Amino acid sequence: MPDLIAKSALAGHAPLVRAGTRLAECAAAPITSIAPYPGRAAQVDAALAPLGLSFPAPNGQSASGTARLLWAGRDMAFLIGAETPAALADHASLTDQTDGWAILGLSGPLAEAALMRPVPLDLRLAAFPVGRTARAPLNHMQAILTRTDDQAFEVMVFRSMARTAWAELTEALAVLEARAKLS
Amino acid sequence: MRLTCPLCGARDRREFTYYGAEDYLNRPAPDAPPQAWDDYLHNRDNPAGVTRDLWYHDMGCSSWLLVTRNTVTHEILAVEAVADRKGGAA
């Protein structure tokens, strides 16, 4: 067996800055999907309690230190940045997703406007506050969006679409940068 | 056209995939007469007015939805999750 070298989905893509807005790949963290079995909500929350987390409501997340639990669909959440508590396996279906997703960070004054081009959601701060998470299309890609700060978003897409997502966001930033230069 | 997903909120039509009539939820018993199976598999109404059909939120939360809408006015009257109905997946 030869030695295999782990590569991130966007290895080789240096962070991109357009008009003060930065697009960069976020560090790969362990990602585990948690799908509670029917009627086990209380047990799942009890198993998550040692991490300081609870199962998130739709469009929300639970965070504690570097561990985050993002809502990822009906009866599904993604645990990011923490190992899964062993007690959880009795009450939920757990799947390692670490290599299946690419995480892009978009931050800066144009982040909101750039993301609203490929995403058909109102992402303004009043409608999509810090900590909000949504499953939504990024053009044709099934994405998970999270607002991490007033001017920062995290975009998760399937790993196979990482470069496409990068290209779409780069194009949106280029258009907005060109427009900003005219005014 | 927008559908208000019970989990995700109001979303654009492009996030959803149409499956077919509500009839798919009403599967006949295994020993039902052939006419019942014929109706279930093949016969559909095509109403000018209120109709109920199944949609899948494939670009969102992956819920199956039962949508009540009006084919004449294009009004969306109700959207409910199939899993939340009695006998649904819970």
Which segments of chain A does DSSP mark as H helices, in order?
41-48, 111-115, 162-182
Share of chain B above pLDDT 90, in %: 91
Would an 8 Å CB–CB cutoff place B84 in contact with chain A? no
pLDDT band with cut points at 50, 70 and 90 for residue A91: very high
Domain end, chosen from A61, A77, A98, is at: A98
CATH number at residue B52: 3.30.2270.10
Q: What range does the domain containing B28 cover?
A: 2-84
B38-79: per-residue pLDDT in tens? 999 999 999 999 999 999 999 999 999 999 999 999 999 999
CB contact, 8 Å: B75 with chain A? no
Domain count, chain B: 1
What percentage of chain A carries pLDDT values higher than 70?
100
Contacts of A73 (CB under 8 A, 6+ apart): A135, B60, B61, B62
pLDDT at A28: 72
Q: Which residues of A touch B81 (CB under 8 A)?
A: 74
Residues of B in contact with A76 (CB under 8 A): 62
Does A8 fall in a domain? no
The reported pLDDT for the residue numbered B89 is 56
**Domain-embedded: residue A120:** yes
Q: What is the pTM of this model?
A: 0.91
Shortest Cα distance, chain A CAs vs residue B83, angstroms: 10
Indicate whether A106 and A122 sit together in one domain. yes
Q: Which two tokens stand for residue A178?
A: 């060109």
Closest by Cβ to A135, choosing from B60, B81, B90: B60
| Shared-domain flag, residues A91 and A108 | no
Joined together, the tokens standing for residue B70 give 């009006």
CA distance B57 to chain A (A): 10
Long-range contacts of residues A156-163, Cβ cutoff 8 Å, at least 24 apart: A156/A78, A156/A101, A156/A102, A156/A103, A156/A104, A157/A101, A157/A102, A157/A104, A158/A100, A158/A101, A158/A102, A159/A9, A159/A99, A159/A100, A159/A101, A159/A102, A161/A102, A162/A9, A162/A10, A162/A25, A162/A102, A162/A104, A163/A10, A163/A13
- Both A112 and A90 in one domain: the answer is no
- The answer, for A122 touching chain B at a CB cutoff of 8 Å, is no
Beta-bridge partner residues of B3 = B11
Query: A74 and A104: one domain?
Result: no
Q: Which value does ipTM take for this structure?
A: 0.88
Reduced to 3 states (helix: H, G, I; strand: E, B; else coil), residue B50 is strand
Structural domain for A73, as ranges = 31-98
Distance from CA of B1 to the nearest CA of A (A): 13
Is B80 within the bounds of a domain? yes
Measure A144 CA to nearest chain B CA, in Å: 9
Q: Is the pLDDT of residue B90 over 60?
A: no
pLDDT tens digits, one per residue of A24-73: 999 878 999 999 999 999 999 999 999 999 999 999 999 998 999 999 99
| B27 closest CA partner among B47, B41, B13 | B41
Mean pLDDT of the region B9-36: 95
Asked whether residue A115 carries a pLDDT value surpassing 80, the answer given is yes
Q: What span, in angstroms and rounded, lies between the C-alpha atoms of B79 and B2?
A: 11
Question: A50 burial class (0-12, 13-18, 19+ CB within 10 angstroms)?
Answer: exposed
State both tokens at A158.
Answer: 């399937």
- Tell me the nearest-neighbour CA distance from B38 into chain A, angstroms: 33
Do A85 and A105 belong to one domain? no
Is A4 contained in some domain?
no
Q: Are residues A74 and A140 in the same domain?
A: no
Assess whether A57 and A92 both reside in one domain: yes
For an interface test with A, the pick among B61, B62, B79, B80 (most A C-beta atoms closer than 10 Å) comes out as B61
User: Is the CB of B83 inside 8 Å of chain A's CB atoms?
Assistant: yes
Q: Do the Cβ atoms of A38 and B90 come within 8 Å?
A: yes
pLDDT tens per residue, range A141-178? 999 999 999 999 999 999 999 999 999 999 999 999 99
Residue B89 lies in a domain: no
- Asked whether residue B90 is domain-assigned, the answer is no
On chain A, the residues whose CB falls within 8 A of the CB of B5 are none
Q: What is the pLDDT of residue A29?
A: 81
What's the domain count of chain A? 2
Is B59 in Cβ contact with A137 (below 8 Å)?
Answer: yes
